[in-house]
Amino acid sequence: MARKKQDRSNLTKEIRNAKSRRDYFVEDTFEAGIVLTGTEVKSMRAGKASLNEGFCRFVGPELFIYGVHIDEYAWGSMNNHIPRRERKLLLKKSELRKLKKQVESGGKAIIPLRMYFKEALVKVEIGLCIGKKLFDKRDDLKKKAVHRDIDRSMKPFR
């Protein structure tokens, strides 16, 4: 009797940056690979990562991600990884040039939006962002409240 292939759709873990859409206007998004060690990947599969304080910075021609916390792997040995270290992002040269040009022009930042598995590889969705002002955040809250009230009024009574 042949074994059925395991459905891997429910095994995908996705870690989102909760503050990114609240604090920034996202102009453009890019999908980047990330250089990780084996214990970091295992910890990511367990969902033990946080992007909330993450940001990206250019070091020479290369892009690195800082502030991302990936817990140590529970079953790791003395060769376990450092939870908060800079990690290199893998992008095409044309994308790196475009990002560097936009950041150097001023007023923009590169923020990690989410981290996920694409088949066996870990990918990071990064966004070219502009910071929101306080009044922008207030406007967003007002719009959300209005939409919520409209949705409630449209629901049928039970």
User: The CATH number of the domain where 39 resides is what?
Assistant: 2.40.280.10
pLDDT value of residue 75: 79
The residue-averaged pLDDT of 60-89 equals: 86
The residue-averaged pLDDT of 83-100 equals: 92
Contact 34, 49 (CB under 8 A): no
> Both tokens of residue 20?
């990114």
* Average pLDDT over the chain, rounded to an integer: 85
pLDDT digits (tens, 9 = 90+) for 103-142: 998 889 999 999 999 988 899 999 999 888 888 888 888 9
Q: Residue 155 falls within a domain, yes or no?
A: no
Q: Residue 27 falls within a domain, yes or no?
A: yes
Q: Residue 95 falls within a domain, yes or no?
A: yes
Contact 67, 53 (CB under 8 A): yes
pLDDT value of residue 65: 94
Q: Residue 156 falls within a domain, yes or no?
A: no
CA distances from 79 to 37, 39, 73, 74 (A): 10, 9, 10, 12
128 vs 25: CA distance, rounded Å: 8
Domain of residue 60 covers 13-132
The residue-averaged pLDDT of 138-147 equals: 89
> Both tokens of residue 157?
């009574």
Q: Residue 71 falls within a domain, yes or no?
A: yes
Amino acid at 69: H
Please tell me the total count of domains within the chain: 1
Q: Is 116 helix (H, G, I), strand (E, B) or coil?
A: strand
Q: Residue 49 falls within a domain, yes or no?
A: yes
